C-alpha cells in the first residue's frame, strides 16, 4: 500500500508540476515586451492538457477503490493474518515488536478477498509498528484478534502498545493525506477504509485504556461466492 500511495502521488505530482511551470511561462509571455500571445496560448493549452491528465489519474484511483468485484475464495482468516505477519517479520524483529495472533472464537473458513484483506491488515499492522517505534518503557506488542461477532460479521482487531492518538485527531486520521509522520503519505487509513466499505464493512479506531491504539474492522461474512 505504501507503494500504491507513492505511485499515486508521483502520477498526480508530475502533471501538477507541469501545470505550475506552464502557468509561470504563460505569465512571462504575457509580461514580455512585446507580449507574445501565441506562446501564452500554447502554454495555456499545455496547462489544460496536464490538468486533465491529473484528473484522469484521480478518476482511475476512484475507479480502483470503488471497483465492487471482490475476488473471494474460501480461506481461514488466520492464514491471511499469518501471511501478513510473514511479510513484516523482519521489520518487526528489527523494531523489537512481538507479533501475536489470537482467534477469539471458533472461525470457520469464509469467502475472503485475500489480496484486499492483506492490504488492509498490512496497513494497520505497519501503522502499529510505526506507532511503537518511539516506545522504550514498555513491551512493543502487536496483537491481532479475529472473531465472529454472532451477527454475521467477521471482526478483526489490530492492537498495539504505541503512542496512541489524542481525541482531537481521532476524526482526522482517516482523512486522505492526513499524517503526523515526517515522511508519511497519509493514504493508508483512507484507502483501507474505502476498501472495507466497498465490501459492506466498517473500519474504526479507539485508544486503549492503558497504552496504544486498536483499529477494528468488521466485514459481513460471505458463506458462498
Ligand X SMILES: Nc1ncnc2c1ncn2[C@@H]1O[C@H](COP(=O)(O)OP(=O)(O)O)[C@@H](O)[C@H]1O
Q: Would you tell me which residues interact with ligand X (CB under 6 A)?
A: 123, 127-128, 131, 160, 162-165, 173, 178-181, 184-190, 213
Residue nearest to Mg ion (CB): 188
- Exposed / middle / buried, residue 160 (Cβ in 10 Å: 0-12, 13-18, 19+): buried
Q: Taking the complex as a whole, how short is the minimal distance between the CB of residue 62 and ligand X, in angstroms?
A: 17
Which CB sits closer to Mg ion, 15 or 188? Answer: 188
Residue 185 site contact among ligand X, Mg ion, none (CB < 5 to 8 Å, cut-off depends on kind): ligand X
- Nearest CA-CA partner of 152 in 85, 56, 224: 224
Which CB sits closer to ligand X, 64 or 111? Answer: 64
State yes or no: residue 127 binds Mg ion (CB under 5 A): yes
Write the CB contacts of 112 (distance below 8 Å, at least 6 apart in sequence): 72, 73, 74, 75, 77, 80, 222
Question: Which region among 24-32, 68-76, 145-153, 183-191 touches Mg ion (by CB under 5 A)?
Answer: 183-191
- Nearest CA-CA partner of 72 in 203, 157, 199: 199
Instruction: Quickly count: other Cβ atoms within 10 Å of residue 141's Cβ.
Output: 18
Residue nearest to ligand X (CB): 188
Are 211 and 136 spatial neighbours (Cβ–Cβ below 8 Å)?
no
- Nearest CA-CA partner of 195 in 178, 181, 174, 167: 174
Q: Taking the complex as a whole, how short is the minimal distance between the CB of residue 21 and ligand X, in angstroms?
A: 28
State yes or no: residue 188 binds Mg ion (CB under 5 A): yes
Q: Taking the complex as a whole, how short is the minimal distance between the CB of residue 23 and ligand X, in angstroms?
A: 29
Q: Taking the complex as a whole, how short is the minimal distance between the CB of residue 181 and Mg ion, in angstroms?
A: 8
What is the C-alpha separation between 146 and 165, in angstroms, rounded?
23
Residues found near Mg ion in the complex (CB under 5 A): 127, 188
Amino acid at each position: 500500500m505504501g507503494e500504491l500511495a507513492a505511485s499515486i502521488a508521483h502520477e498526480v505530482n508530475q502533471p501538477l508540476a507541469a501545470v505550475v511551470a506552464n502557468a509561470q511561462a504563460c505569465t512571462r509571455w504575457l509580461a514580455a515586451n512585446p507580449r507574445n500571445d501565441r506562446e501564452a496560448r500554447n502554454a495555456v493549452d499545455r496547462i489544460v492538457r496536464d490538468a486533465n491528465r491529473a484528473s484522469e489519474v484521480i478518476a482511475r484511483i476512484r475507479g480502483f477503490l470503488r471497483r465492487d468485484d471482490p475476488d473471494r475464495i474460501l480461506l481461514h482468516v488466520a492464514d491471511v493474518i499469518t501471511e501478513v505477519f510473514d511479510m513484516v517479520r523482519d521489520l518487526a524483529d528489527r523494531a523489537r515488536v512481538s507479533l501475536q495472533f489470537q482467534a477469539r472464537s471458533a472461525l470457520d473458513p469464509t469467502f475472503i478477498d485475500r489480496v484486499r484483506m492483506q492490504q488492509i491488515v498490512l496497513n494497520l499492522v505497519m501503522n502499529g509498528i510505526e506507532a511503537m517505534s518511539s516506545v522504550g518503557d514498555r513491551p512493543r506488542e502487536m496483537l491481532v484478534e479475529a472473531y465472529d461477532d454472532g451477527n454475521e460479521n467477521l471482526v478483526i482487531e489490530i492492537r498495539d502498545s504505541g503512542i496512541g492518538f489524542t481525541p482531537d485527531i481521532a476524526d482526522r486520521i482517516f482523512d486522505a493525506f492526513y499524517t503526523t509522520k515526517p515522511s508519511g503519505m497519509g493514504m493508508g487509513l483512507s484507502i483501507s477504509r474505502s476498501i472495507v466499505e466497498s465490501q459492506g464493512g466498517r473500519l474504526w479506531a479507539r485508544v486503549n485504556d492503558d497504552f496504544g491504539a486498536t483499529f477494528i474492522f468488521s466485514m459481513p461474512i460471505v458463506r458462498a461466492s
